[in-house]
Amino acid sequence: MLTYSFENKGNDTLYEYLYKQIKKDIISRKLIPNEKLPSKRMLAKHLNISTITVETAYSQLIAEGYIYSVPKSGFYVCEIETGGTFEEYIPFDRNRPVSDSRDISGKFGGILTKRMEQGVDKEDEQKDRYYADFVNNRAVSENFPFATWTKLMRDVMADDTARLLNRPPSAGIYELRCAIADYLYQFRGMSVAPEQIVVGAGTEYLYGLIIQLLGHDMCYGVEDPGYQKIFRIYQAHHVRCSHIAMDENGINMDALYESGADVLHISPSHHFPTGLVTPISRRYELLSWASKSPERFIIEDEYDSEFRLTGRPIPSLQSIDVSDKVIYINTFSKSLASTIRISYMVLPKTLMERYRRELSFYACTVSNFDQYTLTAFINDGYLEKHINRMRNYYRALRDMILNDIKKHKWYDRITIKEENAGLHFLLKLSTDYDDNEIVRRAAENGIHISCLSQYYYDVKSAVLHTLVINYSGIGMEYAEEAIDRLFRSLFTD
Amino acid sequence: MLTYSFENKGNDTLYEYLYKQIKKDIISRKLIPNEKLPSKRMLAKHLNISTITVETAYSQLIAEGYIYSVPKSGFYVCEIETGGTFEEYIPFDRNRPVSDSRDISGKFGGILTKRMEQGVDKEDEQKDRYYADFVNNRAVSENFPFATWTKLMRDVMADDTARLLNRPPSAGIYELRCAIADYLYQFRGMSVAPEQIVVGAGTEYLYGLIIQLLGHDMCYGVEDPGYQKIFRIYQAHHVRCSHIAMDENGINMDALYESGADVLHISPSHHFPTGLVTPISRRYELLSWASKSPERFIIEDEYDSEFRLTGRPIPSLQSIDVSDKVIYINTFSKSLASTIRISYMVLPKTLMERYRRELSFYACTVSNFDQYTLTAFINDGYLEKHINRMRNYYRALRDMILNDIKKHKWYDRITIKEENAGLHFLLKLSTDYDDNEIVRRAAENGIHISCLSQYYYDVKSAVLHTLVINYSGIGMEYAEEAIDRLFRSLFTD
């Protein structure tokens, strides 16, 4: 049972101290989600305090969302969910219970300590726990153009109330799809008809639509290393999923042909976590692969292409595809704010026809309010301005952090890699610590960090001793100290 | 090729007349969705008019969303989507191409004329086509409390901008889940913890989550007769789906046991289209069925329980379930407006734990803006007021229509059934016309109507000669004339 000594409670009342201790254990995952807590009476007896004290502590924990009560059953620990915009950066949790453990239980190596890599819910908890977080890169909220968004929303509401109550077409309101098509043409050089665009409440929802569209019998290929979340979504839909090795130019073609994948889900313009940009020659090889079977398709996932900070822009796969093989997918939740749940996909003509036939009975998942507001936001040029501002901000932040690294006395012990990738880069370390130890030591020094190896499904192939530096959520004023803490946790004179 | 005579063009210019003719053919489904139109040059040549005339007509059709162009390919007919709030009322389209035709192609009888029953997109088209529509019951938009909603949205935006940018928990913001729990307690007598509630962008999205939660290997049982849409969603997810016959008390228990269904998806408090309310004894039988296997669950879909106008309220299945077998699902899109995409489900404790483990990595699909606005709308009592106002409005409308029927000189040729069902009732006809002919004759008289038989999957069991009167979208001023037209299309002296 939970055991706490009250010796160090200082000026806290008994209940305040108990509440803080339990909260700490929940945040640190000593108490795990959905774990049952002892009854009030039992815990009071065990700790030799009054039931009222336990009750007051539990009440506060309920009010703050750390525990929940189930009538006639007891008290349970809440799932403390990951915050931040860039939640997909979470590495594989190798101790996570999975729905179909037969598939992967033998595969995951377990180089990480239990649940260590999962994030926590609230800003202040994050601060409690880490001085700086290079894993869960929450967007800096001051950067959201809130006043503009509010103004446009008001305009939309004042404008024409009747049209807000019309049921939008399944694929989204036509005006928004036109605005997106224009935007893609201007900023990505893509020629897309508004009729090819499907708007939905988040990319995760759209992935589910794509599975319904292409079929549950297909094998979906994902990048290794890569996002855990994309894999989990395919897994939740009970479709076959194959992890395909990458080489220095992106998806390895031999691995792709051997994988048995029908549908390839990739981010060729900006791969996470390696930062790779797939060159044009490999892009043609990928299209060639797709063209060899009518069942094959490529999902081109450009989640944060707006934030590639340098380098020659490479045409999207979608724009060089003449065989109707590429589904292009992108989101406004990354470029604006994660709470604006608007994403979109561009379907090739044949698939758009299939969508109209088979899936257009679905209602659009985004409210009219949000669709009209975003339309105005794009058409009035605010999106472009916002992205430019953010790009400048991230460039300055990146330069500052790189500078802090380069001027550090132990700079000779690391190598900076892929520094032109969007919102992250890699640091190759000269160290004898294994990756598990690296993460642990950094955490002890208040730095939340992940290693490249944590994003591999096939742990035997994992590149070791390489940090992934997701810097976009680090406040500029903390950068120098954060880098110094990181270095000091890994090196000594 | 499209052939139009320009003799009757009256005062219209050539292009206006051509535009109207093509539009008419699209609305009447002579031209079907995604059908390719002749090229501008070909059509001009064929009709002996100038290419510019065709081009102008096509441009206007594109602008109004009737056709779309695909670069380097040509012009195609748009899917004219169903409008209105009550889109699920659409009966089975027996000519619809289905994704897995092996399952059902042999089953659909085809008592309906091709595509006749599909609705159209815009209010004015609807008006063009029908004097009154008893199939697609769009909500009357003046009834939406727009000023209140706008005011609350502004308050929310002014209130605390930072919290709007926090990523909401996967299941929805806690405040909204508390408001829903309170609402269910007050108005439905249900004791539900906020932690059991999952908020999502529409019931259709939640059905998809349920499939991911319960598994793709389950067989899902749906009501026959019933909604087409629910069946289509299971079909789109490629899960087995079984149609289960109803008797006078709801789902027939023998049919249920024989069906092999694991998960039963029903609306026991208000079945569409029969209007049946499942009595308490049958409810216990259903729960007993569910309790006999750990795999079995019941989805209790209460899409418009707020609008049952009379009759003793019967406890929800969820509230008499002590075995954690019932998933309760409901939506605000029906009670408020279809463009507000907020629905919710209440999961039993065991499934909520499974949700937290396996699916809480999904981001919530509803924006924070909408979640906070709805929270205020519920907590400030506006939802209750709105539902009461709507209930009074519908009661008055129903009484007026029933009165128009009862005073009609041919009242002796029909029998009113289930007049206490929510937003629809049934009319049993004494007629020799078959149901197909009934629908056709009513349409000729400007009345869009559906027959009970159209909602059956097993056409052999279909109850014939029974109209489904969805009255909620009929303006009060049109009611008397609509009923008279309907009667005159079916009876003569």
**Nearest residue to B470 via CA among B78, B72, B85, B178:** B85
CA distance B192 to A194: 44
Chain B residues in contact with A195 by the CB 8 A cut-off are: 68-70, 78
Single-letter amino acid, residue B79: E
Residue A100, pLDDT score = 30
- State the nearest Cα–Cα gap between B169 and chain A, in angstroms: 6
Flag if A157 and B150 touch (Cβ within 8 Å): yes
Residue of chain A with shortest Cα separation from B85: A167
Residue B368, pLDDT score = 87
CB of A396 closer than 8 Å to CB of A388: no
Chain B residues in contact with A83 by the CB 8 A cut-off are: 166-167
State residue B433 phi and psi, 5-degree precision: -65, 140
Residue B455 scores a pLDDT above 80? yes
Of B468 and B86, more confident? B468
| Neighbouring C-alpha atoms within 13 Å toward the C-beta of A199 | 31
Chain B residues in contact with A198 by the CB 8 A cut-off are: none
Cis status, amide bond into A273, omega within 30 of 0? yes
Strand partners, B330: B344
A284 touches chain B (CB under 8 A): no
CB of B369 closer than 8 Å to CB of B157: yes
Chain B residues in contact with A366 by the CB 8 A cut-off are: 201, 341
The pLDDT confidence band at residue A116, using thresholds 50, 70 and 90, is very low
CB of A305 closer than 8 Å to CB of A268: no
A72 touches chain B (CB under 8 A): no
Q: Find which of A207, A319, A332, A341 to mutate to test the B interface (most B CBs within 10 Å of its CB).
A: A341
CB of A78 closer than 8 Å to CB of A33: yes
Q: Dihedral angle at the C-alpha atoms of B169, B190, B422, A168, nearest 10 degrees?
A: 0
State residue A16 phi and psi, 5-degree precision: -60, -45
Domains (range + CATH), chain A: 14-77 (1.10.10.10), 144-380 (3.40.640.10), 385-490 (3.90.1150.10)
A190 touches chain B (CB under 8 A): no
Chain B residues in contact with A150 by the CB 8 A cut-off are: 157
Cβ neighbours for B196, distance < 8 A, ≥ 6 positions apart: B346, B347, B348, B349, B352
Q: A419 in helix, strand or coil?
A: coil
Of B461 and B10, more confident? B461
Residue of chain B with shortest Cα separation from A148: B157
* Element holding B385 (H helix, E strand): helix B382-406
List, as ranges, residues 47-66 from A with C-beta within 8 Å of B: 65
B279 touches chain A (CB under 8 A): no
Cis status, amide bond into B313, omega within 30 of 0? no
Unique residue bearing structure tokens 């077409």: A169
| Mean confidence (pLDDT) of chain A | 83
Chain B residues in contact with A204 by the CB 8 A cut-off are: 362-363
Q: Dihedral angle at the C-alpha atoms of B188, B189, B191, B195, nearest 10 degrees?
A: 20
CA distance A486 to A480: 10
Range from A411-420, B94-103, B459-468 that averages highest in pLDDT: B459-468
Q: Give ∠ CA A166-B335-B394 in degrees, rounded to 5.
A: 95
List, as ranges, residues 329-368 from B with C-beta within 8 Å of A: 333, 337-341, 349, 353, 356-368
CA distance B184 to B302: 12
Flag if A70 and B157 touch (Cβ within 8 Å): no
Query: Which among B69, B84, B195 is the nearest to A167, CB-wise?
Result: B84
How confident is the model over A151-170, as a mean pLDDT? 80
pLDDT digit string, tens, across residues B329-383: 999 987 777 668 899 999 999 999 999 999 999 999 998 889 999 999 999 999 9
Query: Which among A146, A166, A365 is the nearest to B201, CB-wise?
Result: A365
Residue B92 scores a pLDDT above 50? no
**Nearest residue to B338 via CA among B152, B81, B62:** B81
DSSP conformation class of A36: B
Provide the H-helix boundaries in A311-381: 317-320, 332-335, 349-358, 368-379
Flag if A205 and B365 touch (Cβ within 8 Å): yes
Residue A4 scores a pLDDT above 70? yes
Residue A490 scores a pLDDT above 70? yes
Cis status, amide bond into B38, omega within 30 of 0? no
Query: Which among B68, B154, B169 is the nearest to A154, CB-wise?
Result: B154
**Strand A263-266 relative to strand A250-251: parallel, antiparallel, unpaired?**
unpaired
Flag if B358 and A204 touch (Cβ within 8 Å): no
List, as ranges, residues 8-47 from B with C-beta within 8 Å of A: 33-34
CA distance B4 to B223: 45
**Nearest residue to A193 via CA among A212, A171, A163, A208:** A171
Residue B14, pLDDT score = 86
CA distance B164 to B224: 43
How confident is the model over A187-211, as a mean pLDDT? 94
**Nearest residue to B146 via CA among B336, B335, B343:** B336
ipTM computed for the complex: 0.71
Q: Find which of A361, A365, A373, A377 to mutate to test the B interface (most B CBs within 10 Å of its CB).
A: A361
Neighbours of A1 (CB within 10 A): 9
Residue of chain A with shortest Cα separation from B118: A361
Chain A residues in contact with B340 by the CB 8 A cut-off are: 367
Query: Which among A65, A82, A204 is the nearest to B174, CB-wise?
Result: A65
Cβ neighbours for A200, distance < 8 A, ≥ 6 positions apart: A172, A206, A209, A343, A344, A345, A364, A365, A366
Q: Find which of A26, A90, A166 to mutate to test the B interface (most B CBs within 10 Å of its CB).
A: A166
Residue of chain A with shortest Cα separation from B119: A361
pTM for the full predicted model: 0.74
CA distance A371 to A15: 48
Flag if A193 and B84 touch (Cβ within 8 Å): no
Of A89 and A455, more confident? A455
Flag if B341 and A361 touch (Cβ within 8 Å): no
- State the nearest Cα–Cα gap between B339 and chain A, in angstroms: 5
Residue A409 scores a pLDDT above 80? yes
Single-letter amino acid, residue A173: I
The pLDDT confidence band at residue A97, using thresholds 50, 70 and 90, is very low
Query: Which among A71, A121, A361 is the nearest to B193, CB-wise?
Result: A71
pLDDT digit string, tens, across residues A307-352: 776 666 678 999 999 999 999 999 998 777 766 889 999 999 999 9
Residue B111 scores a pLDDT above 60? no
Residue A194 scores a pLDDT above 90? yes
Flag if A141 and B165 touch (Cβ within 8 Å): yes
Residue of chain B with shortest Cα separation from A368: B339
Flag if A193 and B69 touch (Cβ within 8 Å): yes
Unique residue bearing structure tokens 């228990």: B253
Of A162 and B400, more confident? B400
Flag if A87 and B144 touch (Cβ within 8 Å): no
Flag if A169 and B121 touch (Cβ within 8 Å): yes
Flag if A361 and B212 touch (Cβ within 8 Å): no
The pLDDT confidence band at residue A295, using thresholds 50, 70 and 90, is very high
**Structure tokens given for B174:** 């806690």
Compute chain B's Rg from CA coordinates: 24
Region for residue A10 given its phi and psi (left: phi exceeds 0; alpha: psi -120 to 50; beta: otherwise): left
B398 touches chain A (CB under 8 A): no
How confident is the model over B250-264, as a mean pLDDT? 97
Query: Which among A81, A237, A353 is the nearest to B169, CB-wise?
Result: A81
Flag if A69 and B146 touch (Cβ within 8 Å): no
Flag if B236 and A202 touch (Cβ within 8 Å): no
Neighbours of A100 (CB within 10 A): 12
CA distance B98 to B118: 15
Lowest pLDDT segment from A165-174, A412-421, B388-397, B416-425? B416-425
Flag if A204 and B362 touch (Cβ within 8 Å): yes
CA distance A277 to A266: 11
Query: Which among B98, B153, B365 is the nearest to A341, CB-wise?
Result: B365
CA distance B46 to B457: 44
Residue A484 scores a pLDDT above 60? yes
Angle between helices B479-490 and B435-444 (to 10 degrees): 130
- State the nearest Cα–Cα gap between A172 and chain B, in angstroms: 11
Residue A436, pLDDT score = 92
CA distance B66 to B59: 10
pLDDT digit string, tens, across residues B164-205: 777 789 999 999 999 999 999 988 888 999 999 999 999 999
Query: Which among A154, A174, A208 is the nearest to B65, CB-wise?
Result: A174
Residue B249 scores a pLDDT above 80? yes
DSSP conformation class of A111: -
List, as ranges, residues 75-114 from B with C-beta within 8 Å of A: 78-79, 81-85, 87, 97-99
Unique residue bearing structure tokens 């990523």: B167
Establish, for the pair of chains A and B, how many residue pairs have beta carbons separated by less than 8 Å: 194
Residue B327 scores a pLDDT above 60? yes
CA B115 to chain centre: 17
Neighbours of A476 (CB within 10 A): 12
The pLDDT confidence band at residue B84, using thresholds 50, 70 and 90, is very low
Flag if B139 and A362 touch (Cβ within 8 Å): no
